DNA sequence: CCAATAGTGTCTATCAGACAGTATCGA
DNA sequence: TCGATACTGTCTGATAGACACTATTGG
């Protein structure tokens, strides 16, 4: 039984990389431009080394704060969860690096260019990001993140998080449509959302939604985090 | 932008731990007894250090082979997937260890005591394992694994993997009931399974199932891996 | 015969998809 | 008035839950 034999310890570098997704006009990911080799000049996921005394979750939060002025420092309105771990021996040409990837979902926010010492993080539509060179295996990480996000919208209320603190049902539907790349029946979507206890609650306000038309009632997240039964893709 | 600055590299140990689950009379997990400190004598998940030149998946497969004579060497009929990564700074008292946990699902197999140099891995009912001291944070890993397995039975055909190469519908239902801890309606279960394309296909044979009664037709896995629509827990 | 499982059929409530129709806004 | 969105209502097909009933084995 060789397990946990201290003499066989092999040193690794451990990093966290965060895939921050939001749904504006298009599903978008927050990327930074690498300033050093390897992959200097390429776009990359925000991330960095885990410090000796912090948890993996703490490292993800810290990297988001340091590299991302788009996300608020207290992470209010941001969902963060561990995604998967990537550790191919050759994924970093310099050394053996294992990266714990995180998925963050947040409401769309404007790009804040040149924010202090934070890297110039900016939103890039996922379709565009997938056709540009990304550093390391970040394309693979992005793909896993997008699929996880798509799946999670089905059975959780995270779409409300991505729609912001106050949203119309049209905006909430838009989050689903942009994330799934698929149109939904408006009337059925309304019925489903409004009949699911704890998904949304009315604010009592009205406001213009997306484009011209009548003002729509606004809603906010209610307490629930899971959707039973789920809202299904592929529509049937 | 501090990310990926080689000078800030902090060495970690990286391990894999594998949660092997099977559904016999009870949902059970494969555990080994630790032979060294810390936690010597306690039960632990099979696992060990990732070697310098292997992938994380390869490490998980290797540890299963080395430590587990219960699982066949070629992993035929075994489903293996990455589960989550655990990295609390104090999870190993000796050093900073990040563990990539894997989930394996397989058909129930008899314990093979004292198998060569392999550790004495043995099946322990999950309920029992959760009330015994497990090494490190392996109880937390086990809980995450069980919840993942329960969820996966809903929307994948992995129950067929856990039922073995040839099974009756009663045995397949038993896999669900033991994993979920919940009774299912037999007639509805049959209808659902048989009407899902690609889930199971008849072998043409008959055999006694669980306990006395008429011989039942046996089935094997068909091609599908996803169940749409899923078989839902909570029943109703 | 009895216990236990295998297998079939049916009724019904629920619900998602489809779609029609009205209401309300800005231009 | 027109375009666009907001909102309501209805029909229907699919399906899951509940349950009754018969069939086949071992003891």
Q: Distances in Å between the alpha carbon of A186 and those of A172, A173, A229, B32, B182?
A: 11, 8, 18, 54, 36
- Kindly give, in sequence order, each residue whose CB lies less than 8 Å from that of residue A71, ignoring residues fewer than 6 positions away: A20, A30, A64, A65, A78, A104, A106, A109
Dist. CA B97–CA A134, nearest whole Å: 29
DSSP string, A172-200: HHHHHHHHHTS---HHHHHHHHHHSTTSE
How is residue B147 written in tokens? 């919840």
User: Which residue's alpha carbon is at the shortest distance from the C1' of C26?
Assistant: A212
Residue B81 confidence (pLDDT) above 50? yes
| Structure confidence at residue A235 (pLDDT) | 44
Which chain A residues have a beta carbon less than 8 Å from that of B85?
Answer: 56, 82, 85, 100
Percent of chain A residues past pLDDT 70, beyond the cut? 92
| Structure confidence at residue A115 (pLDDT) | 47
Percent of chain B residues past pLDDT 90, beyond the cut? 79
| Structure confidence at residue A146 (pLDDT) | 98
Tally the residues of chain A: 236
Closest approach of B214 to chain A, Cα-based (Å): 37
Confidence of residue A236 (pLDDT cuts 50, 70, 90): very low
Confidence of residue B236 (pLDDT cuts 50, 70, 90): very low
C-beta separation of B32 from B117 below 8 A: no
**Which among B3, B6, B8 has CB closest to A67?**
B3
Judge: A5–B36 Cβ closer than 8 Å, yes or no. yes
| Structure confidence at residue B119 (pLDDT) | 60
* Strand C–CB B190 distance below 7 A: yes
Residues A92, A152, A235, A194: what is their CA dihedral angle, to the nearest 10 degrees? Answer: -150
What is the chain A residue with the closest CA to B55?
A88
| Structure confidence at residue A120 (pLDDT) | 78
Judge: A87–B50 Cβ closer than 8 Å, yes or no. yes
Instruction: Look over chain B and give the mean of its residue pLDDT values, rounded to a whole number.
Output: 91
Peptide bond just before B229 cis, omega within 30 deg? yes
| Structure confidence at residue B213 (pLDDT) | 87
Which chain A residues have a beta carbon less than 8 Å from that of B3?
Answer: 15, 32, 44, 46-49, 63, 67, 119
Dist. CA B189–CA B22, nearest whole Å: 20
DSSP B132: S
Judge: B35–A98 Cβ closer than 8 Å, yes or no. no
Dist. CA A167–CA A163, nearest whole Å: 6
Q: Which nucleotides of D are covered by protein (CB under 7 A)?
A: 3-10, 15-20, 23-27
Q: Distances in Å between the alpha carbon of B207 and those of A145, B203, B210, B216, B217?
A: 45, 11, 10, 5, 7
For A116, half-sphere exposure in the C-beta direction (CA atoms, 13 angstrom radius) is 7
Closest approach of B117 to chain A, Cα-based (Å): 7
- pLDDT tens by residue, A41-82: 999 999 999 999 999 999 999 999 988 888 887 888 999 999
* Strand C–CB B170 distance below 7 A: yes
Judge: B10–A13 Cβ closer than 8 Å, yes or no. yes
| Structure confidence at residue B2 (pLDDT) | 41
User: Which residues are registered as beta bridge partners of B122?
Assistant: B31
Q: Which nucleotides of C are covered by protein (CB under 7 A)?
A: 3-10, 15-20, 23-27
User: Which residue's alpha carbon is at the shortest distance from the C1' of D19?
Assistant: B187
What is the chain A residue with the closest CA to B40?
A4
Residues 196-225/A with CB within 7 Å of nucleic chain C are 208, 212-215
The pLDDT of B74-99, averaged and rounded, is 95
- pLDDT tens by residue, B37-66: 899 999 999 999 999 999 999 999 999 998
Higher pLDDT, B9 or A15: A15
Residue B23 confidence (pLDDT) above 80? yes
Distance, angstroms, CA B229 to C1' D19?
24
- pLDDT tens by residue, B126-171: 999 999 999 999 999 999 999 999 999 999 999 999 999 999 999 9
Query: What is chain B's Cα-based Rg?
Result: 20
| Structure confidence at residue A6 (pLDDT) | 52
Residue B6 confidence (pLDDT) above 80? no
Dist. CA A27–CA A124, nearest whole Å: 8
Distance, angstroms, CA A186 to C1' C21?
15
pTM to 2 decimals?
A: 0.94
| Structure confidence at residue A116 (pLDDT) | 47
Judge: B82–A82 Cβ closer than 8 Å, yes or no. no
Nucleotide nearest to A209 (CA to C1'): D5
Distance, angstroms, CA A155 to C1' D12?
26
| Structure confidence at residue A3 (pLDDT) | 47
**Which among B56, B89, B234 has CB closest to A55?**
B89
What is the chain B residue with the closest CA to A95?
B6
Q: Which of A205-209, B27-31, B117-121 has the lowest mean pLDDT?
A: B117-121
Q: Distances in Å between the alpha carbon of B201 and those of A155, B25, B105, B210, B224?
A: 30, 24, 21, 20, 11
- pLDDT tens by residue, A85-104: 999 999 999 999 999 999 99
**Which among B13, B35, B89 has CB closest to A1?**
B35
**Helix ranges restricted to H, chain B:** 56-67, 126-129, 138-155, 158-163, 169-180, 186-195
Residue A36 confidence (pLDDT) above 80? yes
* Strand C–CB B206 distance below 7 A: yes
Residues B178, B182, B184, B189: what is their CA dihedral angle, to the nearest 10 degrees? Answer: -50
**Backbone φ and ψ of B67, nearest 5°:** -100, -5
- pLDDT tens by residue, A201-235: 999 999 987 777 899 999 999 999 999 889 999 74
């Amino acid at each position: 039984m060789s397990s946990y034999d201290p003499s066989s310890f092999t040193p690794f570098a451990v990093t966290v990389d965060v895939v921050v997704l939001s749904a504006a006009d298009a599903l978008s990911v927050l990327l930074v431009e690498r300033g050093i080799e390897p992959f200097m000049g390429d776009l990359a996921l925000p991330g960095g080394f885990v410090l000796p005394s912090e948890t993996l979750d703490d490292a993800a939060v810290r990297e988001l704060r340091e590299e991302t002025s788009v996300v608020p420092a207290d992470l209010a309105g941001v969902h963060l969860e561990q995604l998967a771990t990537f550790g191919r021996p050759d994924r970093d040409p310099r050394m053996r690096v294992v990266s714990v990837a995180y998925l963050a979902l947040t409401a769309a926010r404007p790009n804040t260019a040149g924010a202090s010492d934070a890297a110039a993080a900016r939103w890039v539509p996922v379709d565009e990001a997938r056709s540009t060179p990304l550093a390391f295996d970040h394309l693979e990480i992005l793909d896993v993140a997008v699929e996880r996000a798509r799946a999670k919208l089905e059975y959780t209320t995270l779409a409300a998080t991505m729609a912001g603190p106050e949203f119309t049902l049209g905006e909430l539907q838009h989050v689903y449509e942009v994330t799934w790349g698929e149109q939904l029946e408006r009337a059925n979507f309304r019925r489903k959302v409004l009949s699911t206890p704890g998904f949304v609650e009315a604010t009592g306000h009205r406001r213009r939604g997306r484009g011209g038309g009548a003002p729509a009632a606004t809603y906010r997240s209610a307490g629930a985090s899971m959707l039973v039964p789920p809202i299904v893709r592929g529509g049937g």
